Amino acid sequence: MILIIDNYDSFTFNLAQELGSMGLDVDVRRNDAFNLEELEEMPLRAVVISPGPGEPSTAGLSLKAVGFFKNRLPILGICLGHQVIGAYFGARVVRASHLMHGKTSLVYHQGDSIFKGVDSPFEAMRYHSLILAGGLPSSLEVIAATEEEEIMAIRHKLYRNLIGLQFHPESLFTPRGRMILANFCLISGLITTEENLKIKGETFKRNHSAGGEHPGVIPG
């Protein structure tokens, strides 16, 4: 089972749909609607921290969840969730030089396993006004960035299955986003082969009108 910590964001529905389409059980909990101790009783295999409005310090239990699960389970942070991971390990969260509210960018990577099968650069949807500043703590590494060297993805050097993505892989406007999410599931052992992706993947379509591309909610 994958726990999705919902930071009160409409993109969370898309995330749950994408992961569910791979045959995975998903449990969505609002960031203030659980306690960490009760989660120990659940058969969790990974944690996803969703996008959302605000900043890491206002993201409910998201920061504490990183500390609680960092050496126990794979963690994927998206947009605000990415910033939460960075902030927990000491990265600075700052205002982006340009507001990226519903805009796409080209993102460059150097072949990290989460980008297996994804060209560099690839197009990615961004919805954020905050960003991780350069000069990351030594425990974190940049695994993707824009041409302007804005940090678009990070990985922890010790906890290798702890990854943050500033962009939205669940968005319709990140064409290779499903592959990126699948790669996280593959490297985390949640699915075993690419064949798992065909469970519902051939008939699964992202529901653009179901709440994902929501201009009224500005994550991160």
| Residue 182 tokens, joined | 């699948």
Burial letters 159-172, b for 16+ CB under 10 A, else e:
bebbbbbbbbbbbe
Catalytic (active site) residue 123: no
Catalytic residue among 18, 150, 170, 213: 170
Catalytic residue among 79, 82, 128, 156: 79
From the list 151, 147, 205, 155, the residue with the least C-alpha distance to 178 is 205
Burial class (CB in 10 A: 0-12, 13-18, 19+), 18: buried
**Alpha-helix runs per DSSP H in the chain:** 11-20, 36-39, 62-69, 80-88, 177-187
Angle at alpha carbon of residue 135, lines to 134 and 141, rounded to 5°: 90
CB atoms within 10 A of CB 111: 10
Catalytic (active site) residue 79: yes
Torsion of CA 128, 130, 131, 136, to 10 degrees: -150
Cβ neighbors of 148 (< 8 A, separation 6 or more) are 97
Catalytic (active site) residue 185: no
Catalytic residue among 109, 128, 156, 168: 168
Residue 21 carries which side chain, given as an amino acid letter? S
Which residues form the catalytic set?
Answer: 79, 168, 170
